[in-house]
């Protein structure tokens, strides 16, 4: 009969990496599926009207297409679909936020990516004492996508980790998966 560890000292240490917490600063808030999200303003290049997308075959379902932005090809990601919540319904206030990301890989470097959101709200200042740790589960999206939660007007907004949500390496690996393969970690 094998002995089962019953005390804390007998259990092996489990190493967990804590995601970086959001810092105080300016954030662009936006609505998606009735929830409020925010990106740090330093990653935002511009906000444009939704339109003129060219679909690209064999892309993951959350990549809705590309646009020509002043001569550059910019991929457009449906953030709701990226989070596994279905495609964004295009309405009058739907817009595209152009975000500058930096790749960890040597091949890609800086990349502009557009994200489709229901509506953009405003730029707000969030102090460090207004930011709480992200939940470890139950937010409906991958925990590594969230850097913190901030409370405004009795509602929480989810502060997103741009480098994880729009990881070019992650999206490239998903584009190489078979067309009907399940998206691992999509919720």
- Read off the pLDDT of residues 143-152 as tens digits, 9 standing for 90 and up: 778 888 998 8
pLDDT of residue 31: 93
pLDDT of residue 7: 40
pLDDT at 170 over 80: no
Q: What percent of the chain has pLDDT over 70?
A: 71
The predicted model gives 103-115 an average pLDDT of 72
The predicted model gives 164-178 an average pLDDT of 65
Residue of 6 and 50 predicted with greater confidence: 50
| β-strands 25-32, 35-40 pairing | antiparallel
Q: All domains of the chain, ordered by start, with CATH?
A: 24-175 (2.40.50.180)
pTM as predicted: 0.74
pLDDT at 101 over 50: yes
Lowest mean pLDDT of 29-33, 78-82, 140-144, 153-157, name the range.
140-144
On whether the CB atoms of residues 30 and 97 are closer than 8 A, the answer is yes
Maximum Cα–Cα distance across the chain: 71
The predicted model gives 131-136 an average pLDDT of 80
Question: How big, in percent rounded to 5, are the helix, strand and coil portions of the chain?
Answer: 15, 40, 45
pLDDT of residue 184: 46
pLDDT of residue 19: 47
Which residue from 168, 166, 123, 114 is spatially nearest to 145, judged by alpha carbons?
166
Residue of 98 and 12 predicted with greater confidence: 98
pLDDT of residue 122: 93
pLDDT at 181 over 50: no
Instruction: Give the whole-angstrom CA distance, residue 137 versus residue 159.
Output: 15
Give the model confidence (pLDDT) of 5-48 as tens digits.
444 344 333 333 444 667 789 999 999 988 999 999 998 999 99
Cα–Cα–Cα angle for 134, 136, 137, rounded to 5 degrees: 115
Q: Which residues of 132-168 are buried (b: 16+ CB within 10 A; e: fewer)?
A: eebeeeebebbebbbbbbbeeeeeebbbbbbbbbbbb
Residue 53 burial class via C-beta count within 10 angstroms: exposed 0-12, middle 13-18, buried 19 and up: middle
Residue 113 burial class via C-beta count within 10 angstroms: exposed 0-12, middle 13-18, buried 19 and up: buried
pLDDT at 115 over 90: yes
């Amino acid at each position: 009969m094998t002995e089962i560890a019953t005390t804390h000292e007998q259990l092996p240490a489990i190493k967990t990496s804590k995601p970086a917490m959001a810092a105080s600063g300016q954030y662009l808030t936006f609505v998606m599926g009735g929830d409020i999200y925010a990106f740090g303003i330093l990653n935002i290049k511009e906000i444009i009207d939704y339109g003129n997308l060219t679909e690209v075959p064999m892309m993951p379902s959350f990549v809705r297409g590309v646009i020509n932005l002043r001569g550059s090809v910019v991929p457009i990601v449906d953030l709701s679909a990226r989070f596994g919540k279905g495609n964004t319904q295009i309405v009058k206030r739907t817009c595209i936020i152009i975000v500058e990301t930096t790749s960890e890989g040597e091949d890609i470097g800086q990349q502009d990516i557009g994200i489709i959101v229901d509506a953009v709200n405003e730029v707000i200042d969030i102090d460090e004492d207004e930011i709480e740790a992200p939940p470890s589960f139950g937010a409906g999206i991958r925990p590594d996508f969230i850097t913190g939660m901030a409370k405004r007007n009795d509602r929480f907004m989810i502060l997103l980790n741009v480098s994880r949500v729009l990881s070019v390496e992650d999206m490239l690996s998903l584009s190489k998966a078979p067309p009907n393969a399940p998206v691992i970690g999509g919720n």
